[in-house]
Structure 1
């Protein structure tokens, strides 16, 4: 299996890398305890060609010090007793060893390395070199800029470098199993991954709508070339913002999912009920966690029923209005800075604040399907195992009943289950009309 091969390739690199780090730590400890005069790192020439570690080194070209920090951060994920065992060999009687740094966690039984650990191994008592390690762990370094590795914030008044080395969980997965797990729905990530087995041929849209959707697809496929090869990065923002508006059931969610499917992008539908909070500042925090997680992933973020969060701003009458408008302003900023595709879905265009409208590259209307579109949906949606009775004329059915694509699918679903239950394979007009009436009642409509 490919996954087994990937893990084997990663192990082929991680094993020697851990041995390299072990030698580096032993070398520093010998210098510290006066058993050696100088500290010297060995060359990085041990990684397997096809491993993720090899690709990481090829892409980022880390120096020895940067690579050491990376390995320090990954060690607790691989060998919990790595540091304790080595220290015990040089410090058999135990005792306090503040120079090494490191902290204990509530669940992890070993030593978790801190910035001070990296400083000890790479710099010892050399102040200039210790400050260089601090620079590597600063917010300006590419580790932090690319959300790869950073220092955990510490309590006010404590040394900055006493914070733990935090390695992005996705980097951990890539270094170990060679694949990134899709994030699970949680308080920290209020979005769910959505996909579909349907295809463009299954989606019946107005020709104008479909044309605009393909314009969005063109942006996804060619944006990197435009920004980097054609030099437009300094002139236009990297992301894309689209508004889908129209009645429920007209294909907005399915369209977003198909865009992801056909461009190789994961699509996440945002649960706005978990994002919006009545407590001041909480909505911004929820949005921040969401966009931070999505940054540089090429995900499509789909905000369904976006009116709740992206609606019109109010005149300021009290503190609540003031903070509500601040949430909108913050959201505008995050959406404009997001380098992927953001899709907002709303029942009505008028519900969305004008400040957002000006920032959309595409505003796409999903109207109720016309007669010819309803006819096509009816004709192609029923399973091939069902025989359609001669008294059913799809042209007549499409003309008489104004339903959305989702409404028609609900009718098909109901009829199919009823036929299976009655051990019949023929759909007659009476059963079809009963299912349609049932759908109209459910939607609160009158035939």
Structure 2
């Protein structure tokens, strides 16, 4: 299956074309020089000057890229913007009738990409020494290792044979910085969570805010505890928090906004894929997620986490045993994770004392009380969008809806009004929405804010 990265056309890249074209020409000249066995003083020969006000130039300047890292970056972008530059390296060895292994190109999901061996070939000089330099470069924690999709699992392809492929968000930043970013999916198990809302849009009780303080403190200062307070080895690495409570009470939004508030990307792990007995290589893919999260300081969010701590699948065959092994591995990895993980569950009645002991912090999200419901109504339905016959205080008092249910009611009412070419919601439309919400609650169809009326 083709990976999720966008393949860019050079004509689409007007904002970066000024800096990128000379960079590609420099890489092309290096390729032809090495193929013709020209002796060059170094790869810096012919390296173009940086255009600082260009997105690509600004990135290179900010990251402090030297010639080797710039060449790595260029090789990783060629398949996206100028794949024909690799054609000359696909020539066949007359003796083996296969492409020259020295050039190091690999085909991945139908796309020809460079590897560490390609970079080593272009660096020139002693072949062994150049490969060792590349190995050190790509094995580091800093650039370019943090820009590339890497596999550090025990079963991974050797470092020098792994493809040079930029992470989607880095590619977006370099080539199309003005376009809105799309959600990033990591090997089909983890998806980035983003929201246009801000912290002040969150409507929770004061008790919940107090419990969230500890998590926010750890996100801001947790990594300094070991060094500055000599607590390394005395406390468990990382931080595990449990969000529990009824559906639609803001658990997912709170996790997303905690990441936004502390400048950490938030990724939701698909528990269904983890516990499925039909998904292959799940343990390996999970390890990739955890390694990237630790390296890039992500916040990992596991929704419907009760599936991990409930009864195991009865093993009637190898597939069932495989699913149980995935869950056992994930539980062990959560315990040893050095970053922050938030698990969420709606099934509070099934949680025992042993379950709670797994976490550094537990936060209960209750159904909102009257004061919080009033704030939710006011936030969802401002004065300019409602008629005078709507009494929000009365709605908050009479109907114990969750935040997700209130949003669904307002959405339904607003669409009704728009269909009639009106600009303000009246109590008549809200009453219809309230009736539908009550019916769906009675039928058990409204869960975790996932369902709407449509």
Settle same-fold status: TM greater than 0.5.
yes
- Partner Cα distance (1:140, 1:431) in 2: 59
* Residue 345 of structure 1: how far off its partner (Å): 1.5
Q: Secondary structure at the match of 2:49?
A: coil
Give the match for residue 311 of structure 1: 309
Displacement, 1:425? 6.1
Question: Is the counterpart of residue 440 in structure 1 residue 442 in structure 2?
Answer: no
Counterpart Cα distance in 1 of 2:225 and 2:27: 39
C-alpha distance in structure 1 between counterparts of 2:300 and 2:333, whole Å: 12
C-alpha contact 2:373 2:401 (8 A) present in aligned 1: yes
Judged with a 3 Å threshold, the aligned counterparts in structure 2 of structure 1 residues 406 and 426 are, in CA distance, closer, same or farther, namely: closer
Once residues 176 and 378 of structure 1 are traced to their aligned partners in structure 2, the CA distance between those partners, rounded to angstroms, is: 41
> How many Å separate the matches in 1 of 2:338 and 2:103?
38
What is aligned with 1:4?
A: none
Q: CA offset at residue 337 of structure 1? A: 5.8
1:248 maps to which residue? 247
Compared CA separation, residues 53 and 304, structure 1 to 2 (3 A): same
Aligned-pair CA distance for 1:245: 0.7
Partner of 2:195: 195
State how far apart, in whole Å, the 1-side matches of 2:370 and 2:231 are: 44
1:9/1:346 Cα in 2 relative to 1: closer, same or farther (>3 Å)?
Answer: same
Aligned residues of 1:115 and 1:137 also touching (Cα < 8 A): no
SS at match of 2:344: strand
Matched, 1:361 2:363: no
1:301 aligned counterpart, secondary structure: strand
Q: Which entry has the higher C-alpha Rg, 1 or 2?
A: 1
Aligned positions, number: 419
Relative to 1, partners in 2 of residues 1:187 and 1:49: Cα closer, same or farther, differing over 3 Å? Answer: closer
CA–CA separation in structure 2 for the residues paired with 1:97 and 1:327: 39
- 1:38-71: per-residue Cα shift (whole Å, max 9, x none)? 7644366733345545654664665x55554554
Alignment of 1:287-436 (within 5 A): 287-291=286-290, 294=293, 296-308=295-307, 310-312=308-310, 314=312, 323-335=322-334, 341-349=340-348, 351=350, 357-378=356-377, 381-384=380-383, 385-389=385-389, 394-395=393-394, 398-416=396-414, 427=426, 435-436=433-434
> Contact 1:137 / 1:151 at 8 angstroms: preserved in 2?
no
Aligned counterparts of 1:100 and 1:41: Cα–Cα separation in 2: 18
Instruction: Give CA deviations for 1:127-159 in whole Å, capped at 9, x if unaligned.
Output: 542552563477578668646376999x99xx9
Shift of 1:329: 3.7
1:124-139 paired onto structure 2 within 5 Å: 126=126, 128-133=128-133, 135-136=135-136, 139=139
Q: Which residue number in structure 1 is paired with residue 9 of structure 2? A: none
Pairing partner for 1:48 from 27, 36, 51: 51
Equivalent residue for 2:100, pick from 91, 94, 98: 98
5+ residue gaps, structure 2, are: 1-12, 445-454
Per the TM alignment, residue 306 of structure 1 is displaced from its structure 2 partner at its CA by 1.9
**Which residue is equivalent to 1:277?**
276
Q: 1:278/1:379 Cα in 2 relative to 1: closer, same or farther (>3 Å)?
A: same
Native 8 Å contact 1:311 1:353 kept in 2:
no
Contact 1:138 1:150 in 2 (8 A): no
User: Counterparts of 1:162 and 1:351 in 2: how far apart (Å)?
Assistant: 48
Inter-CA distance 186–330: structure 2 relative to 1 (3 Å threshold):
closer
Contact 1:17 1:47 in 2 (8 A): no
For the residues of structure 2 that align with 1:123 and 1:426, how far apart are their CA atoms? 70
Give CA-to-partner distance per residue, 1:90-137, whole Å, 9 cap, x none: x9xxx988375344748979x75444444443346x454255256347
SS of the residue corresponding to residue 345 of structure 1 reads: strand
Relative to the length of structure 2, the TM-score reads: 0.69
CA contact (8 A) 1:267 1:299 kept: yes
Q: CA deviation at 1:443?
A: 0.8
Shift of 1:335: 3.6
In the alignment, the residues of structure 1 paired with residue 425 and residue 231 of structure 2 have an alpha-carbon distance, to the nearest angstrom, of: 59
Question: Residues 66, 136 of structure 1: CA spacing in aligned structure 2 closer, same or farther, 3 A cutoff?
Answer: farther
1:211 to partner: Cα distance: 1.8
CA RMSD of aligned residues (A): 5.0
SS across alignment from 1:81: helix
- CA–CA distance in 2 between the matches of 1:152 and 1:201? 39
Aligned CA distance change for structure 1 residues 120 and 245 (closer, same or farther; 3 Å): closer
Residue in 2 that maps onto 1:208: 207
- 1:121 matched residue in structure 2: 122
Distance 1:120 1:316, change over 3 A: same
* Aligned equivalents of 2:423, 2:42: Cα separation in 1: 80
